[in-house]
């Protein structure tokens, strides 16, 4: 929700990024709770873990100073989302050691 608010403040130029964020949300919900009915990503859609990285790449072209500030905040949010996603993936695996999880968090 924080990222969506930043994208709304960015302006209409962020509409494509907002659509990508929706795809990311649908993919993450489907991956986390596969038993829930609703929108599911299609076979041609990228995996959920790739979508925050795509959002980050699309954010790198601000046109004004206020947009630069918004991009900085949005990039921090997407970095946190990416870390959280990788941490969840690591926690799902039984063979991941605690030192690796600590390194992943830092």
* Helical packing angle, 65-92 and 2-10, nearest 10°: 160
Q: How confident is the model at residue 79 (pLDDT cuts 50, 70, 90)?
A: confident
Structure tokens that stand for 77 in this block? 């949010």
pTM for the full model?
0.65
The pLDDT mean for the chain works out to: 79
Spatial neighbors of 23 by CB under 8 A, at least 6 apart, are 41, 45, 51
pLDDT of 37: 73
SS in 3 state form for 21-62?
Answer: HHHHHHHHHHHHCCCCCCCCCCCCCCCHHHHHHHHHHHCCCC
């Amino acid at each position: 929700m924080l990222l969506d608010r930043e994208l709304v403040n960015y302006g209409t130029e962020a509409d494509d990024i907002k659509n990508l964020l929706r795809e990311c949300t649908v993919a993450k919900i489907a991956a986390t709770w596969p038993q829930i009915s609703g929108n599911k990503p299609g076979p041609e859609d990228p995996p959920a873990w790739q979508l925050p990285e795509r959002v980050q790449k699309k954010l790198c072209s601000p046109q004004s100073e206020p947009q630069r500030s918004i991009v900085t905040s949005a990039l921090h949010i997407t970095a946190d989302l990416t870390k959280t996603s990788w941490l969840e993936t690591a926690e799902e695996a039984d063979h991941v050691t605690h030192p690796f999880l600590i390194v992943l968090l830092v």
